[in-house]
Amino acid sequence: MSIGLVVFDWAGTLVDYGCRAPLLAFLEAFDQAGLPISEEVARRPMGAHKRDHAREILHYPEVAARVRSTLAREPDEALVQEIYEAFTHRLLELLPTYAAPIPGAVETLRRLRDGGIAIGSTTGYTRAMMDVLEPVAHAAGLAPDALICSDEVPQSRPAPWACFRLAERFGIYPMSRSVKVGDTPADMAEGRNAGMICVGVSESGNEVGLAPEQLAGLDAAGRATRVRAAEARLREAGAHAVLPSVAELPAWVENETK
């Protein structure tokens, strides 16, 4: 198999180990609205357009019930917009703090390019969000060849449109010659719907959901339990393979192309 294109997610995959920035922004936005939620609830829709993410949480039965009982209103589009705006305001403040490349990410992009592979990226972030994050990541050496944001396509994940646009841009077909790399079930669904090979990343991403120091603080059994659960969720969502992080991707690509 000749791989011509690799499409990366951003938070939890290329930057922001543990996918912390969007988590913290959603926790604060829902708390500000009078609807505190747990980290587990905040993380469930991760990878989607952030307005869709807010909407999905509001429509979880347990959250919708609290909207009606606590706020005496409906979990409607007006509330979605209020939470999304609060989330966006806070996220734009947090993004520079969580823009550091995940260990091995810069070297991974270099090795793939050296192998003649195009580097694309998609994200649940909007262009305005990436306008804050991207320059900081670029300054640290992380620069994909192309980026499609969630508000630049008719539908964001799990729809495949962003991946199709990247394949068209680089002239890579069939889609089975392209690989989607991400840390969420939404990433895997996006890649599957596009007919791509899907590679999940577990330890660095949303499904484990821990900063490096938190992960390092776990004993071996606790770490293995969290990683296995993350791997299972990614495989259930369609991952063909799951790696600890993008640092292991070049070796995986080399093995697949033998």
Tens place of pLDDT per residue across the chain (258 aa) = 699 999 999 999 999 999 999 999 999 999 999 999 999 999 999 999 999 999 999 999 999 999 999 999 999 999 999 999 999 999 999 999 999 999 999 999 999 999 999 999 999 999 999 999 999 999 999 999 999 999 999 999 999 999 999 999 999 999 999 999 999 999 999 999 999 999 999 999 999 999 999 999 999 999 999 999 999 999 999 999 999 999 999 999 999 887
**Rounded Cα gap, residues 160 and 195, in angstroms:** 9
Using H for helix, E for strand and C for coil, what is the string for 161-181? Answer: HHHHHHHHHHCCCCHHHEEEE
Instruction: Choose among 132, 119, 127: nearest CA to 21.
Output: 132
Domain with CATH 1.10.150.240 in the chain: 21-96
Query: What is the per-residue pLDDT for 1?
Result: 64
Burial label for 189, CB within 10 Å (0-12, 13-18, 19+), is: buried
Determine the Cα–Cα distance for residues 21 and 211; give it in Å rounded to an integer: 11
Whether residue 183 contacts residue 18, with contact meaning beta carbons closer than 8 Å, is answered with no
* pTM, entire model: 0.96
Q: b or e along 2-15 (b: 16 or more beta carbons within 10 Å of the residue's beta carbon)?
A: ebbbbbbbbbbbbb
For residue 112, give the amino acid letter: L
At residue 242, the pLDDT reads 98
Q: Cα(61)–Cα(256) distance, rounded to whole angstroms? A: 43
Output the six-digit token pair for 209: 């959901």
Is the CATH number 3.40.50.1000 carried by domain 5-18+99-256?
A: yes
Dist. CA 211–CA 12, nearest whole Å = 10
Closest CA relative to residue 83, chosen from 30, 120, 124: 30
All CATH 3.40.50.1000 domain ranges of the chain, comma separated, are 5-18+99-256
Q: Which pLDDT value is given to residue 258?
A: 74
**CATH number of the domain at 21-96, out of 3.30.70.2740, 1.10.150.240, 3.40.640.10, 1.25.40.10?**
1.10.150.240
Task: Give the span between the Cα atoms of 46 and 65, in whole angstroms.
Answer: 22
Strand partners, 108: none
Per-residue confidence (pLDDT) for residue 121, from 0 to 100? 98
Catalytically active residues are 9, 50
Place of tokens 């609205």: 33
